[in-house]
Structure 1
Amino acid sequence: MAFGIAGGVVGLAGPPGVGKSTLLATFATLRRPSSGALEILGYDTGSTPDLRAARARIGYLPGCFSWAENMTAGEFVAYAAYYKRVQASAARSVLKRLDLADAAATELALLPPDARLRAGLAAACVHEPDLVLLDDPFAGLTAASAAELVPVVRALAPSVVLTSGDTPPLMGWCDRLFTLARGKLTELPPGAPVHAPRAPRPFREGPGKRAPRPGARGPATGRATAPRPGRGPASLSSTDAYRRGRPRPARPRRCPASLRAPSGRARPRGPRTRGGRPRAGPAGAGPRRAPPGSWPPEPR
C-alpha cells in the first residue's frame, strides 16, 4: 500500500476495529510494518539512526492517556518536555499558547474533556514537531467543543493526521480525507456526499402480524413497550418478593405422615361409627362400602 502525506490536515475515518489506531501507531514508529518499507519525513525507519531522527520530529497523542489523570496539566506537559529533551520554558510556552496557563495546577481528571484534550495536544507538541498524529481526538466531545478546537488542531504542525470513527466530523475542514475498511484505504474526493446510516423501520401492524407483547422489547427501537392500560407491572416471584421484604404466599398444607397410606395416598376422612363400620347411606342404598384397596380394610 502506497500512502504519502505532502502536508496539511489528513483525516482517516472508519468503524471501530478496522485498524486506525494500529496504522497510526505504525506511523509513530511504535510498531514495525510486517512487510514493505516505511519512510517518514525523508527518514527510513528500518535504520536505527534514521529511526531516532524521525521520532524527534513526530508528535503522537494516543486515544487514551488515563494513566496520567493524577498529574496536573503543567506536570504532564513538563514530563513530555523532559522526555523530548527540551527546556522547561517550552512547556510554559505551549501551555500559554493553548490557553492552559490558568489550569496548569489542576489535575487532568478534574478538567473538562476539551481542556483535557488541550493538555494532551500541548504534551504532544511541546517539542514543535513537523508531523502530529492524533488518535480520535474528538471522541467524547460535543459538536460545539470540537468545532472550537478545529483551528487549534490545524495550527499544531505543518502536517497533521487524525482519525475518527465517523466521516461527518472530518468533512469540510480536512485537506484530504480517507476511509479505511477491510484493510483498504480509499480517498474521498472533495465535496463527496456522506451517506448516513439508515434508521430502523418502525413496527407496523397488518394482517398476519402480531403486535408486540406488553413489556417486551420492540423490534425497531429495542425498548420495552408500555403495559396495557389498567394493569400494573408484572408480579414478582416469591423469591423476589421475599428479598424485597414482602411476605411469601402461604404454601398449601401437606397431609401428615400418620394419615398417609402405605402406597402414598392419604387415608379417607369420611365420617365413621365407633365400631369402625361405615355409616349407612341413603334409604334403600344399603351400607356404604369402601373401594377395594383402600385403607383401613373393611372389617369382616
Structure 2
Amino acid sequence: MNNGEEHPMTSTVNAADLAPTTYAWEIRATGLKVRAGRKRMAVDGLDLSLGTGVHGLLGPNGAGKTTLIRALATVLRPAEGTLELLGESTGTMGEHRALRRRIGYLPQEFGYYKRFTVREFVEYMAWLKEVPKADIPGAVQRAVERVGLADRADDRMKSLSGGMVRRVGIAQAIVNDPSILLLDEPTVGLDPAQRLRFRELLQELATDACVVVSTHLVEDVAAACTDVVLFAEGRLVFQGPPDELASVGGPEHPGDSPLERGYSAMLLGSGQGKASW
C-alpha cells in the first residue's frame, strides 16, 4: 500500500553489470550474411557499426530489414561473417542468455494471451527477460506509463485497439531498460499524437541505448533519428544523418519531402528505384 512515501527501488547487481564497457560499438557487423529461409540470402555481406542513438532502418519491401532485425535480436544466426552485440559474438551456438537480458525487441507481430491484462503481459515478459523479481513491479509500471497506458494497465489485452496493443509491445520491449532496443515497424496503428509521443520516447531512450527502428515512414526517421541506415537487396546503400540523405535528392526524384527525394535518389543509384508494387 502506498502511504505517500517514496521508497528507493533496490535491484540485484552482478559482476557483469559492474564490469567496464570494453566494446567500441553496441552493434558491429562485418561481412554479415543472414538467410531468410533455407535459400535466400536476405542480408548479403553487410558491414555496419552502430552506437548510442536512434538509427532509422529504411528500405523497400523485401530489402532484408526484418531479417537483419531478427539477427540483431539473436533470433537468426549469421550464415557468414561476424556480428557482435555489446562486444559479444553471436556466431556461436550458445543461447546468449546474458546478452538477451540487455536487448529489447518488438517484432512486426508478437503473440500474447488475450486474457492477460496489460500489466500481466508486461510482467510476464519482464520475468522472461530475467528482470530481478523485486524490480519487476516498478519496471512494469514505468514501462506502461512511458507508453501512455497507465490507465489501461488492468484491462485485458483482448479489449485493446490495434494501436494500444502496439504500445503494449513497445512497453514489453523497454521493460528491462535494454542497452540495445530493436523495433520493427513500431508505429503501425498509432495515431498522429501517439507517433509524436513515440518519437519523444525514442529520443529519451537513446541517451544511453542503441535504438534501431525499422520503418517505412520517412517522416518518423526525419523527426526522431540521428542516423539513417538505408538498406536494399540485403546490402547497405547509405548510412549517415538525415540531413545528408536529404541533400542527395533533387526535384526530379519522387517524394513529398527532401528526405523522401534523397531516399528515392539513393535507391535509383543502387538500381532499386523502379521496384514495382
TM-score normalised by structure 1 residue count: 0.60
In structure 2, relative to structure 1, the CA distance for the partners of 1:84 and 1:189 (3 Å cut) is closer
Which of the residues 213, 224, 228 maps onto 1:173?
224
Partner of 2:202: 153
Label 1:26 to 1:7 Cα distance change in 2 as closer, same or farther (>3 A). same
2:142 — aligned with what?
93
Cα pair distance change 1:96/1:190, threshold 3 Å: closer
C-alpha distance in 2 between matches for 1:68 and 1:137: 20
Distance change in 2, residues 1:85/1:167 (3 Å): same
Equivalence for 2:185: 136
Match of 2:156 among 79, 95, 107: 107
2:239 aligned partner? 187
Q: Which amino acid aligns with 1:172?
A: A
Unaligned ranges ≥5, structure 1? 199-300
CA radius of gyration, larger in: 1
Q: Look up the match of 1:126.
A: 175
How far 1:168 sits from its partner (Å)?
A: 3.0
- Partner of 1:65 in structure 2? 110
Residues 166-200 of structure 1, C-alpha deviation per residue, up to 9 Å, x if partnerless?
423311320101111122212254323365459xx
Deviation at 1:73, TM superposition (A): 0.8
Residue 67 of structure 2 is matched in structure 1 by 22
Residue among 25, 37, 42 paired with 2:87: 42
Query: Following TM superposition, where does structure 1 have runs of at least 4 consecutive aligned residues deviating by more than 6 angstroms?
Result: none
Task: Report the Cα distance in structure 2 between the residues aligned to 1:96 and 1:147, rounded to whole angstroms.
Answer: 16
Q: Percent identity?
A: 36
Deviation at 1:129, TM superposition (A): 1.1
Corresponding residue of 2:215: 164
**Contact preservation (8 Å) 2:157, 2:165:** yes
User: Going by fraction, where is strand more abundant, 1 or 2?
Assistant: 2
Say if 1:154 and 1:160, in contact at 8 Å, map to a contact too.
no
Q: Aligned to 1:36, what secondary structure does the other structure show?
A: strand
Cα pair 1:12 1:20 within 8 Å, conserved: yes
If asked which structure has higher relative contact order (CA below 8 Å, sep 6+), I would say: 2
Residue identity in the other structure for 1:182: E
CA contact (8 A) 1:43 1:50 kept: no
Determine the C-alpha separation between the residues in 2 that align with 1:11 and 1:40.
18
Match of 2:76 in 1: 31
- Secondary structure, counterpart of 1:85 in structure 2: coil
- Counterpart secondary structure, 2:213: strand
3-state SS in 2 of match to 1:3: strand
| Structure 2 counterpart of 1:83 | 128
Contact map agreement 2:101 2:130 (CA 8 A) in 1: no
Counterpart code for 2:229: F
**How many residues in Structure 1 have an aligned counterpart in Structure 2?**
198
Query: Structure 2 length as normaliser, TM-score?
Result: 0.64
- The equivalent residue for 1:117 is 166
In the alignment, the residues of structure 1 paired with residue 78 and residue 95 of structure 2 have an alpha-carbon distance, to the nearest angstrom, of 16
2:54 counterpart SS class: strand
| Counterpart among 52, 55, 58 of residue 7 in structure 1 | 52
Q: How does 1:189-268 map to 2 (within 5 A)?
A: 189-191=241-243, 192-193=245-246, 195-196=253-254
Residues 132-141 or 87-96, more deviating? 87-96
Q: Cα–Cα, structure 1 residues 190 and 13, in superposed 2: closer, same or farther, change >3 Å?
A: closer
